[in-house]
Structure 1
Amino acid sequence: MQPWLISVVLVTILTMTLLFLLSFDSLEPHGENASLEAICPTVPTSLPHCAPRYQEFGLNCNYLSESVEKEPYSAGRYYLGIANSFIKFPRTVKSISFIEDWTEGRQGPALQSRTKDGLTVHLEVSFQYQLKFDQLYTLWSTLGEDYEKTFVRMAIEQLSTSTTHHNAHFFFRNRTFVSMEMHRKLDGHFRQHAFAEVPFFQLRTVHLPDAFEDAIRETQVQEQHIQIARLEQETKKVTFATEVLKAKQAVQKLQNEADGEAEAILKKNDAYCEQYKLTQQLQVDGLESVVAKTSWGDSELLNYLSIRAVREHPSSNTMISL
């Protein structure tokens, strides 16, 4: 066999082998040395989105025909064909932050907007988004590979708009409600327009104008004073009510004692009257018996009663006029 033919065969074999090897691509989990904080810097590592399934998604792209398959691929090694490779997307939860101490590598400084009553408000927020596996092709065809910049603009627009729905006083008193409302609106917008979801949202700080915050603090101090005064008023009401109750109990006691004493006197009088009536009746019966036996008239009976009255009356207190 001619040497040149051997060379051609060898080159052909090497070329085919190289092309065959280059026709493979993989979607691998993150390396073992990757830390959880580097992958999910603002999400607690105990959350399920930061569990050890840090994989990538991918779309098969042919660079010769400039076409992309619509069906996404999950983690693994695949034979894609010549001039094919993956457009890779993270399956992990990714974080976007807007904070005051903004440095290179973060998405931006704190958001500035206005409340419903026109006051300037600065918001420090962060949230975590996750791409939807079944909508990767739509995401890529709509927003491209540099989709996160669009996510940042969407977040700024949605969060800035949310601040205009409430006045400054509401922000100061209902921060938890405002955070939940912002999370709900941002998640809904991302699901509809960004082909992703927002599982976590943090409203870190709300900065209102100093004069307003000072006025609010003073209002809170005065409200505390009012609350203390109300509590003292309630305490005094209870004290006075107790005194009134004690007085009513004392009056009731006196009333009961008076009723008992009156009842005793009444019973005593009734007994005395009954005894007196019985005594008088016996005297009448006795006098009638005397009159019947002696045949006395009225004058003799009156003389007898007069003599008896004088006899029974104490001599020291008796005066007889002749």
Structure 2
Amino acid sequence: MTPDASTASPEDLFRRAKLTAADERIFIVKLVFAYGIWAIGVTLALFVGAWPIRLLGVVLIGAMYCHWLELQHQCLHHSAFRRARLHRLAGVPLGVPMLVSYSHYRVRHLQHHRYLGTDQDSEFFGFDSRQLVTWPALIREALAFGRLIGSMADIVRCWRGTWSYDMGQISKDRERDVEAEYKLFALPLLGAAVLVVLGHGDLVLWVWLLPLLIAVPLHFLVELPEHIMCDNSTTNVLSNTRSITGSWFSTWYTNGNNLHIEHHAAMVVPINRLRDRHDITLAFAAHTSPSYPTFFRAIAREASDNARAGRSPKQ
């Protein structure tokens, strides 16, 4: 049981908690719900004639592709299932639409947890939270479709046998896992090409390409609050990370990514249990926001202030 914030200490944020059958059931329900919303989006995008409804379908599909990465993130930490091997089994498909290799993401992300607040910190998606907040940087990162091209290049390198990990050393088993997943990604890409050749390009357009125009910027917005405008010169999670109280909707959609201080303090604790620690975060953390709109207004002010002052990343 989580102590009351009035009697708790920061150390209570770091307590471990055993994954239970109830936690596993909650994650399975999240998976089923996410795939169900995706199916509704596909139905609206493909089988409804009215353009506004079809576009709504595209938005739902794209929103789920982003949401799936947050579910994949929980699998990375092995905090979804009691049997470890199920995490990769569930996690690999969740990354397919955005070409995110589960094993590659896992290695890089766990390094991020290990090296947060040091010069060795480097997240999988490449956004540097230590950079100056400017409108050009925000727009560039929100439209970072080049990561998809990078994933395609990794697919080619894996098939050629020339892929190697570029952020340190990993085991041969992990290398094989990463290579196998990138090779697997060739199948949906070839399938999409075949559909286009056979005259079914509209299926590829409406279920994959157009939703990516939604998913990529949305994912950036979900990830942005984690460490930006925090103290990135310290390894203290109470200073280098941000949590957002948020609503039930934002907590569900980000799969608890809003409770990011709590997650970094105890990364193997099931995400559905992090809310119980939020009052402790509010009592001791340096960077918290009550809602996403509050956070994004602060980011907009910072970017506008930097623009008015003529500040640039080179300064």
Give 1 or 2: higher helix fraction: 2
Give 1 or 2: higher strand fraction: 1
Q: Which has the higher contact order (CA 8 A, sep 6+)?
A: 2
TM-score for the superposition, normalised by structure 1: 0.23
Considering only CA atoms, is the larger Rg found in Structure 1 or Structure 2?
1
